[in-house]
Amino acid sequence: MKILINALSGNGDALMFSPALRLLKEKLPESEIDMLVMFKSVKEMYEDSPFLNNVYFVNFLKQSKLRSLGDVRRLKDNDYDYSINVYPANRLEYNIVNSFLGAKKKIAHHYTHTEFSRAEFLNDILIDEIKDRHNVLQNLDLIKPIVNVSDDEAGQMEIFISDDDKAKAAEWIKENNLEGKFIIGFHPGSSVLKNHIHKRWDKNKYAELGNKLMKENDAKILLFGNEFDLNNEIKAVMDNEALIASTHNYMDSIARMTHCKLFVSNDTAFMHSAAALQIPTVGIFAYTNHKELYPWKTKHAIVRKDLDCSPCFYNSPRPATCIFKGEEEFKCMKMIEEEEVYEAVKQLIVNRQS
């Protein structure tokens, strides 16, 4: 059997398919499973997976539509039995790509908030989206038409790190005198697509939190993410005591992240990556649904404001918006104070030591 996984979204969404990928290969050990991605960082994240035969990168965002179409049509020659749109993938373009791949059976979700113009009908098997169901389990639902699996079988998320990346990270840790230190990672950034810049907790509060952790817990702070200007601003407020750990290669970041004892992040791919590495994680949530996106199968704490209107964001091509305006816009994030996040961090430190 030949199966193609369309992981056309970012690292976090693609990573939440990893428990389903393992089960798919375990249930069908003779199968050939490939993955199609459109972000190089997703390719980097999956290219050492033992469960995939090939990872194909098509640069949909930067090359012409004609060239992209040609790349997709060439994959059709692989004669796939199934192609699967990783959850969430509720844009028209994702369904068109799935259709052009020409698999015998095309699997995707039917979304609660959808429109006829998104062409879900181009797929052969549609799985109903379920509110408040974790994305890992939504992805598990996608493989149930192919193999018999239960929710209880969904394991942790996984990232496979090469020996070379591990060695480079260990050398970087040594060069920066971090061996044996209590290292805490921060990801203060987020994607800016679909107005998700509002997922970001205030940079000055991150700096305050870092200063307190360094002073009271003798912690070393590593800043992650390719938002280098933002990280440099936070580092400056922290008297340059923090270190920027990320490079332009995603796996550099992941390998260095393995040395963290705790991670603090907005709702981002780095939060999910920390969970995949089994690092205790504090997730700071605003308008996205923490029930669907909490750090999966790792010790964690969620910090959020339980407003009547939140969570208000649902899976849709539409950007995030807020019913409030002016200073109160996205107040679900603005109201979260440094002390609240510090208390969550302290609780995870206590749990880690017990």
Q: Is 126 helix (H, G, I), strand (E, B) or coil?
A: strand
Q: Is 287 helix (H, G, I), strand (E, B) or coil?
A: coil
Residue 316 banded pLDDT, cuts 50, 70, 90: confident
Q: What is the pLDDT of residues 191-220, one digit of tens each?
A: 998 999 999 999 999 999 999 999 999 999
| Contact status, residue 184 vs residue 215, Cβ threshold 8 Å | no
Q: What is the pLDDT of residue 235?
A: 96
Mean pLDDT (whole number) for 160-175:
98
Res 155 pLDDT > 90: yes
Res 354 pLDDT > 60: no
Mean pLDDT (whole number) for 102-122:
96
| Short-list 320, 42, 339, CA closest to 199 | 320
What gap in Å lies between CA 23 and CA 34, rounded to an integer? 15
Q: What is the pLDDT of residue 210?
A: 97
Q: Which DSSP helix (H) or strand (E) runs through 352?
A: helix 338-353
| Contact status, residue 22 vs residue 155, Cβ threshold 8 Å | yes
Give the global pTM.
0.96
Describe the crossing of helices 65-76 and 92-100 by its angle, rounded to 10 degrees. Answer: 40
- Across 40-50, b (16+ Cβ under 10 Å) vs e yields ebbbbbbbbbe
Mean pLDDT (whole number) for 224-239:
95
Q: What is the pLDDT of residue 253?
A: 97
What gap in Å lies between CA 342 and CA 300, rounded to an integer? 13
Residue 353 banded pLDDT, cuts 50, 70, 90: low
Q: What is the pLDDT of residues 336-348, one digit of tens each?
A: 999 999 999 999 9
Q: What is the pLDDT of residues 31-66, one digit of tens each?
A: 999 999 999 999 999 999 999 999 999 999 999 988
> How many of the other CB atoms lie within 10 Å of CB of 347?
14
All domains of the chain, ordered by start, with CATH? 2-153 (3.40.50.2000), 163-353 (3.40.50.2000)
> How many of the other CB atoms lie within 10 Å of CB of 327?
7
Q: What is the pLDDT of residues 124-153, one digit of tens each?
A: 999 999 999 999 999 999 999 999 999 999
In sequence order, the 6+-apart residues with CB closer than 8 A to the CB of 79 are: 2, 102
Q: What is the pLDDT of residues 78-97, one digit of tens each?
A: 999 999 999 999 999 999 99
Extract long-range pairs of 210-214: CB within 8 Å, 24+ residues apart: 210/184, 210/186, 210/234, 210/238, 210/241, 210/242, 211/237, 211/238, 211/239, 211/241, 212/338, 212/342, 213/184, 213/342, 213/345, 214/238, 214/241
In sequence order, the 6+-apart residues with CB closer than 8 A to the CB of 198 are: 286, 287, 320, 322, 329, 330, 333
Q: What is the pLDDT of residues 247-264, one digit of tens each?
A: 999 999 999 999 999 999
| Contact status, residue 221 vs residue 241, Cβ threshold 8 Å | yes
What gap in Å lies between CA 254 and CA 41, rounded to an integer? 11
For residue 94, list its beta bridge partners: none
Q: What is the pLDDT of residue 352?
A: 64
